[in-house]
């Protein structure tokens, strides 16, 4: 039986990639400390800055919100209700989890954006109307990114934090490498600075944690979260990439971490330097004002054209 590094009690979690084990009493403190280190080493934000946490109702983002509050940050939440309901009331349930988390913490507030109320259609409805969109997931990321950026700027938050963990980032990296998506590879990083084109600063303070670690944190801290995956994500390549990486991790513990963390190191050392000839011209969307590579209106605004 493994023992806690801190107190020698039987371990509740063993992290083979770190050769580290903790009991249920000491694991949350380790997560909080590691997150604090990550925030400082990447200069994500300071204590005087208000942070907006994008919460999906899942374990990662609610655990992140919890950790930031534990660390004394002024962290509020943003939930984007896409109206997803494949007979499972997915959005309603996840919205309820986020709202319950916020209600139990009176010093914070949760901003809810209801896509159907704001734009007239749910994610599934707009995806069905647009013939060139094969499945809702194809535009879900686009809608979430646009709305996260909009609300962060409109509500005056200097930074937006998402709950992406190492499993998410490693799966994204695998997808980007498989298809040699050089643009995405150049941009993949735990901190994206704000820029003059109207992009808010975005950070991923959980990018060094395995998914099982954020799940263990949420469980030990008694955070109630939605366990189900988005019903539209069934069969998504990101899920297949996660499974592949988990098989490799099983065969050789630490593989997932090496793959992603060494990518970050290699980038720091100069891999994927900006391509000199790359000149992306950004325009301002005539409707919403966000930056876009499109000529007049951005892809998000064109979604709602009838």
Please state at what angle helix 27-41 crosses helix 211-220, rounded to 10 degrees: 130
232 binds, among Zn ion, ligand AMP, ligand FES, none (CB under 5 to 8 A by kind): ligand FES
Measured from the CB atom, the residue of 29 and 138 that comes closer to ligand FES is 138
Task: Provide the CB-side half-sphere exposure for 165 (13 A, CA).
Answer: 19
By CB under 6 A, is residue 232 in contact with ligand FES?
A: yes
Q: Which of 28, 136, 163, 190 binds ligand FES (CB under 6 A)?
A: 136
Q: Do 12 and 220 touch, CB atoms closer than 8 A?
A: yes
Minimum distance of ligand AMP from residue 86's CB (angstroms) = 15
Measured from the CB atom, the residue of 20 and 236 that comes closer to Zn ion is 20
By CB under 6 A, is residue 133 in contact with ligand FES?
A: no
Q: Do 16 and 8 touch, CB atoms closer than 8 A?
A: no
137 binds, among ligand FES, Zn ion, ligand AMP, none (CB under 5 to 8 A by kind): ligand FES
CB contact set of 113 (below 8 Å; sequence gap of 6+): 78, 79, 80, 81, 147, 151
Q: Which two tokens stand for residue 112?
A: 């809810």
The rounded distance, in Å, linking the Cα atoms of 33 and 150 is 31
Minimum distance of ligand FES from residue 236's CB (angstroms) = 7
The contact pattern for ligand AMP, residues 68-97, with x = CB under 6 A and - = no contact, is ----------xxx-----------------
Q: Do 76 and 108 touch, CB atoms closer than 8 A?
A: yes
Measured from the CB atom, the residue of 8 and 273 that comes closer to Zn ion is 8
């Amino acid at each position: 039986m493994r023992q806690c590094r801190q107190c020698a009690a039987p371990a509740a979690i063993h992290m083979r990639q770190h050769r580290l084990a903790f009991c249920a009493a000491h694991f949350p403190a380790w997560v909080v400390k590691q997150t604090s280190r990550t925030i400082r080493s990447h200069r994500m934000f300071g204590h005087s800055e208000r942070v907006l946490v994008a919460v999906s109702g899942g374990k990662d983002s609610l655990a992140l919100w919890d950790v930031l509050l534990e660390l004394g940050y002024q962290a509020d939440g943003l939930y984007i209700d896409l109206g997803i309901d494949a007979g499972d009331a997915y959005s309603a349930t996840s919205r309820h989890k986020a709202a319950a988390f916020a209600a139990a913490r009176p010093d914070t507030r949760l901003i809810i954006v209801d896509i159907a109320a704001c734009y007239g259609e749910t994610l599934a409805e707009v995806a069905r109307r647009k013939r060139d969109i094969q499945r809702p997931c194809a535009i879900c990321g686009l809608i979430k990114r646009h709305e996260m950026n909009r609300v962060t700027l409109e509500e005056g938050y200097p930074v937006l934090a998402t709950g992406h963990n190492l499993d998410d980032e490693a799966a994204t990296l695998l997808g980007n490498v498989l298809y040699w998506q050089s643009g995405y590879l150049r941009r993949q990083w735990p901190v994206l600075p704000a820029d003059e084109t109207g992009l808010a600063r975005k950070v991923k303070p959980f990018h060094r944690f395995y998914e099982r670690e954020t799940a263990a944190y949420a469980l030990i801290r008694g955070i109630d979260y939605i366990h189900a995956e988005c019903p539209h994500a069934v069969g998504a390549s990101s899920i297949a990439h996660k499974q592949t990486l988990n098989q490799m991790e099983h065969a050789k513990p630490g593989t997932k971490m090496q793959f992603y963390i060494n990518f970050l190191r290699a980038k720091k050392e100069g891999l994927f330097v900006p391509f000199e000839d790359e000149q992306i011209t950004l325009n301002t969307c005539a409707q919403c004002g966000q930056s876009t590579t499109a000529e007049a209106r951005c892809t998000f605004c064109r979604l709602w054209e009838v």
